Amino acid sequence: MAKRILVVEDNDLNRKLFCDVLKASGFVVEPCADGELALNGARAFDPDLVIMDIQLPNISGMDLIGQMKRDGTLSRVPVLAVTAYAGKGDEEKIRSAGAAGYLSKPVSIGPFMRAVRELLDIRG
């Protein structure tokens, strides 16, 4: 059965790129442009992985990661943070919020897919 990935990204081009690349690799993908809808979207979609932008309007991706980690049904789901925040200490802050992986934008497809496969424990 194909792994399910929720993509939380407010930038239309980034969201489309992530979704297209993941679908082409055989994943079932659910896009989410609004961070405020992400938790309910995640509960309904039951993802194996969440790709989370950190800089979202209205709510921080770090806050969303924290909420997911406190949610009984979502706490087991690994989160790959993909962000333009790439300053000193940002990766540590994002990982301490609960992200299992971290990539800074702009993202190259090779490292992106390696991170996805690693977090889903997929060889290849």
Domain positions in the chain: 4-119
49-53 and 4-8 as β-strands: parallel, antiparallel, unpaired? parallel
Give the integer Cα–Cα distance in Å for 56 and 87.
17
State the pLDDT at residue 123: 63
Q: 4-119, superfamily in CATH?
A: Response regulator (3.40.50.2300)
Give the integer Cα–Cα distance in Å for 80 and 65.
10
State the pLDDT at residue 100: 97
State the pLDDT at residue 59: 92
0.85 exceeded by the pTM? Answer: yes
Cα atoms in the 13 Å half-sphere on the side-chain side of 29:
21
Give the integer Cα–Cα distance in Å for 42 and 88.
30
Instruction: Chunk the chain into consecutive blocks of 10 residues (it has 124) and report each block's average pLDDT, rounded to whole numbers.
Output: 96 97 98 94 97 93 96 96 85 94 94 97 72
